[in-house]
Structure 1
Amino acid sequence: MIRVATVDDIMEIENIYNEILDYEEQTVSYTNWQKGLYPTVDYAKSAIDNNTMFVGENEKGIYGCVVLNSIQPKEYDNISWVTKAQPSEIMVIHTLCIRPSESGKGKARIMMEFIEKYAKEQGYKVIRLDTYEGNIPAGTLYPKIGYIYVGTTKFHFQNVIWEDLKCFEKSL
């Protein structure tokens, strides 16, 4: 089940963020996220306050989370998007996270299916997202489920880290 997150979910969301960051410190960093910088509990609280944080859960509890809104980073202006749409017709996926212990079990695909259904129900015309160029799992998944790679652009992440992010979109 995937649902809008509530304030009661904040600890589990923070745990997911920390589990991912700890896992990446010990293995390989696919996200290029930085502990204490992004994602943070304040980021999650803000998304919950705006009803834009969603969680995926099963019998074991919350396994993933994602922020869905129409906020496009300014760097998106550098991309030649295939689908022309007004800002209000564009859903943007931010910070899709799957708990490391649930990784590789199709949970990201389940969440993406929900996102597409939800976006259609809400009247969006297109979904856009970006991922760190070194995020091989995400960069492999998105084309498999119909997202078109539209380009890579430099992001000045949190005004601290320069990184190249691959951008994808899917017309609905």
Structure 2
Amino acid sequence: MNFELACLEDFNEIENLYWDLIDKSKEEPSFPDWEKGVHPSADFLMAGIVQKELFVLRDEGIIKACAIVNSNSNKEYKRVAWKVNERDNNVWIIHALAVRYEYRGMGLATQFVKNLISYAKLENIEAIHLDVIDKNTLADKLYIRAGFKYVSTENIFYEVVGNRQFRMYEYVIE
């Protein structure tokens, strides 16, 4: 498995990964309420590639997992009692982590997160933050297993889901 930045040629495969995942898992209890064309949007994915913020886990030429990782946070992140506060791009935020539908349950999300943590250490990142929508208990288990600590639950507005409760997690890099 290779953990690497996506390139422009990966766009269609990445977009199809998300759309297929949405189509096949939208009725599942832990589905994060993503919506095709809204979140993650084509513009969001393309910007992630162009800005070198979209990471993939590739095996035998197939992208099996991906996420956008950057320092862009929702305004509600400012009120969270993080151990490491955002300043000068010292904190990364994971956005829209996805595993290709047919490869779920194989530990690829865990492998992706572990690779991301290792890469963050090399980049002198101090912490990784993220939020998990209220019903996504599978994501909670993933991040706790990967060493993230629950910080708080916050009411956050995202256009695709409106105002919802999100659990905030932090991984402090040492």
Query: Scaled by the length of structure 1, what TM-score is found?
Result: 0.93
Amino acid at match of 1:144: R
Aligned to 2:52: 51
Corresponding residue for 1:41?
42
Aligned partners of 2:90 and 2:43: how far apart in 1? 27
C-alpha deviation, 1:73, in angstroms: 1.2
Q: Aligned letter for 1:132? A: I
How far did 1:87 drift?
4.2
Q: Retained in 2: the 8 A contact 1:85–1:125? A: no
Provide the rounded CA distance (Å) in 1 between the counterparts of 2:127 and 2:172: 4
Q: Distance in 1 between matches of 2:167 and 2:41?
A: 22
Q: How many residues align?
A: 172
Q: Does the aligned pair in 2 maintain the 1:148–1:170 contact within 8 Å?
A: yes
- Within the alignment, does 1:145 sit opposite 2:146 as a pair? yes
Give the aligned partner of residue 98 of structure 2: 97
In the TM superposition, residue 139 of structure 1 has moved relative to its aligned partner by 0.5
- After TM superposition, give the deviation of residue 39 of structure 1 in Å: 0.6
Cα distance in 2 for partners of 1:112, 1:136 equals 17
Could you tell me which residue of structure 1 aligns to residue 8 of structure 2? Answer: 7
Q: Paired residue for 1:116?
A: 117
Instruction: Indicate how the Cα distance of structure 1 residues 143 and 124 shifts in structure 2: closer, same or farther if over 3 A, else same.
Output: same
Provide the secondary structure at the position in 1 that maps to 2:89: helix
Deviation at 1:24, TM superposition (A): 2.4
1:69 aligns with 2:77: no
- The worse-fitting range, judged by mean Cα deviation, of 43-52 and 57-66 is 57-66
Secondary structure of residue in 2 paired with 1:88: coil
In the alignment, residue 158 of structure 1 is paired with which amino acid?
E
- Percent of pairs identical after alignment? 28
How far 1:29 moved relative to its partner? Answer: 4.8
In structure 2, the gaps of 5 or more residues are: none
- How far off is 1:85 after superposition? 5.1
| CA-CA distance at 1:83 after TM superposition | 2.7
Structure 1 stretch displaced more, 142-151 or 23-32: 23-32
What letter matches 2:90 in structure 1?
Answer: E
Hey, what's the Cα distance between the residues in 2 that align with 1:123 and 1:66?
20
Q: Deviations over 1:58-105 (max 9, x none)?
A: 126111111111112111122111234524211111111111111110
Deviation of 1:2 after TM superposition, in Å, equals 1.2
Task: Give the Cα separation in 2 of the matches to 1:85 and 1:77.
Answer: 8
* Matching residue's letter, 2:28: T
User: Moved runs in structure 1, 4+ residues, more than 4 A?
Assistant: none
- Determine if contact 1:64/1:98 at 8 Å carries over to the other structure: yes
After the TM superposition, which of the residue ranges 11-20 and 27-36 deviates more from structure 2? 27-36
